[in-house]
């Protein structure tokens, strides 16, 4: 089982919000997640984000790979 840290979309059309989740690599974008690590919201004034860094580091140590979108989000 390969595990990734990726974004899953929630919210209304035109008001997209994303959750940062741990999922199996082959699962659907909006399918069941193993664990929710935080959220991300892009607004007119910039962006808001919240992530549980302790759990993020735990999953990285267990071999989970963040997607390029999540890596870009965390480096910003």
pLDDT: is 13 or 70 the higher one? 70
User: What pLDDT, in 10s, does the model give residues 5-59?
Assistant: 999 989 888 888 999 999 998 888 778 899 999 999 988 788 899 999 999 999 9
Sheet containing strand 65-66, edge to edge, reads: 46-51, 35-43, 17-24, 3-10, 65-66
E strand segments, the chain: 3-10, 17-24, 35-43, 46-51, 65-66
Taking the alpha carbons at both ends of the chain, their separation in whole angstroms is 29
Please report the pLDDT score of residue 1 as a whole number. 67
| pLDDT score for 72 | 92
Its CATH class, for the domain covering 3-68, is alpha beta
Q: What are phi and psi of 63, to 5 degrees?
A: 105, 5
Distance CA 19, CA 7 (A): 6
Would you kindly state where each structural domain of the chain is located, as residue ranges? 3-68
User: Over 90: is that where the pLDDT of 65 sits?
Assistant: yes
How far is residue 27's CA from residue 38's CA, in Å, rounded to a whole number? 19
């Amino acid at each position: 089982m390969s595990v990734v840290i990726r974004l899953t979309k929630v919210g209304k059309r035109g008001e997209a919000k994303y959750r940062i989740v741990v999922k199996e690599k082959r699962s659907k974008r909006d399918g069941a997640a193993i664990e929710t690590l935080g959220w991300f919201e892009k607004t007119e004034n910039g962006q808001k984000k919240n992530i549980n860094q302790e759990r993020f580091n735990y999953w990285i140590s267990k071999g989970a790979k963040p997607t390029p979108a999540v890596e870009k989000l965390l480096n910003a």
